[in-house]
Structure 1
Amino acid sequence: MSVMTDRPHMLTEDFEAVARIAAREREGTRLEFIDGVIRSKAMPDGDHGRIIQWLLKVCMQSRPDLFLHPAQGIKAQEYRDGRAFPDAVLAHPDAFVGQGDWADPAPILMAVEVTSWDSDTQRRDHVEKPRAYAGTGIPVYLLVDRAKCEVSVYSQPNGRRYESVHIVPYGTDIALPDPVGITLQTEPLKDWVR
């Protein structure tokens, strides 16, 4: 089977209807629509959830004016025709009030992904998501790669990609640049790997 590259699998509004039905019929099912392709996002395991909890606490302590919103659906890509479920996004507390299933990404300061153990993690989290988030204009993309035991910070989006990428192994401090302005001490991540 080949993937259509010249046109999307379906219209964005049709995808939204399918995603709503899938979420209702199969609790916990999260579908994404990036580069015109429908993908199912893996259910997070316990260590994945613990990493998000850790980030939530770090963000609340460092930036009490902001909130790390877990699993907020967003309109993604350059023309907002994609749909993504970042593991979390950093924005002000009321950023998504009244926005429905797929929020406008304008207030997002940082998108967060924590890798899963499914087969398309490398393509999705290292290629498709950075491209989609940069196209959306999200200032910072934080990727916690559990297979590689690395943390990547993407910044300076130019509308197609991030101009700056910093990668460090677990245990190394890494700065989340402005507008986030937090330094992560990544030592605790060593406790949440297989």
Structure 2
Amino acid sequence: MTAVDDQRMTEFFESLAAPEGVKVELLRGEIVMMAGPDVVHNLIVLFIARQIPPDRWYPLQTQDVAIPGESSEPQPDLVVVAPEALPEGSGRLLPVQAVSLLVEVVSKTSKVRDYVTKRSIYAAGGVPAYLIVDPFEAKCTLLTEPFGGGDQADYRTARTSKFAEPVPLDGLGVTLDTAEFGTLP
């Protein structure tokens, strides 16, 4: 895509009126629509958000993230930011520079996007920590140390933990308890 095509796609995406209950994201120039999440998914997000100390961090849901150099406006399941990093008047799009951790909970239709596409997008944006929670595999994968750009961007470090094992989120000074995370067949 050219810069003009990227701009047109972004403008079209931002003017799109999605039906109620449908999540819409722009991922590398592709508009992706998904049905609302199931209860297991929502409870995992809730259990993670409750473990983030609100005096030091804001766990935000349904927050779109702006990633410069990418024709993407993802809406992670959970965005964690330090209160002092929130820019005034940022509106719908939170600048990726303010993000400390992004969380995605895998659904039946999002596996490739969460493990491949968003991994690359978030690494290209310099997101310091990306946590993938997979209720189908009953595991969490914490990715840190982003490097590279574009489609080739990735994370140098990947730490995988099974559900019920603690997940240290060193950048937040939190150890995540995953014992309550539900699984899906």
Q: Deviations over 1:96-119 (max 9, x none)?
A: 65222222111100001011122x
Question: Which residue pairs with 2:55 in the alignment?
Answer: 64
The answer to whether structure 1 residue 15 and structure 2 residue 6 are counterparts is no
Structure 2 CA distance for partners of 1:173 and 1:29, relative to 1, 3 Å = same
- Extract structure 1 runs of 4+ deviating beyond 4 A: none
Give the whole-Å Cα distance in 1 for the aligned partners of 2:111 and 2:137: 11
The answer to whether structure 1 residue 85 and structure 2 residue 75 are counterparts is yes
The answer to whether structure 1 residue 147 and structure 2 residue 139 are counterparts is no
Any residues of structure 2 matched to 1:111-122 within 5 Å, and which? Answer: 111-118=102-109, 121-122=110-111
Equivalent position SS for 2:80: strand
Structure 2 CA distance for partners of 1:12 and 1:49, relative to 1, 3 Å = farther
Structure 2 CA distance for partners of 1:97 and 1:113, relative to 1, 3 Å = farther
TM-score (norm 2): 0.86
Question: Which residue pairs with 2:145 in the alignment?
Answer: 156
Runs of at least 5 residues in structure 2 that lack an aligned partner in the other structure: none
CA contact (8 A) 1:108 1:138 kept: yes
Which amino acid in the other structure matches residue 112 of structure 1? Answer: V
Aligned length, in residue pairs: 180
Equivalent position SS for 1:22: coil
The answer to whether structure 1 residue 183 and structure 2 residue 175 are counterparts is yes
Give the whole-Å Cα distance in 1 for the aligned partners of 2:103 and 2:61: 9
CA contact (8 A) 2:139 2:162 kept: yes
Give the whole-Å Cα distance in 2 for the aligned partners of 1:117 and 1:69: 23
Runs of at least 5 residues in structure 1 that lack an aligned partner in the other structure: 1-5
Equivalent position SS for 1:132: helix
Give the whole-Å Cα distance in 2 for the aligned partners of 1:51 and 1:186: 9
Give the whole-Å Cα distance in 2 for the aligned partners of 1:16 and 1:87: 23
Q: Deviations over 1:84-139 (max 9, x none)?
A: 01011100247265222222111100001011122xx2210100111101100110
RMSD, matched Cα: 2.3
CA contact (8 A) 1:110 1:139 kept: yes
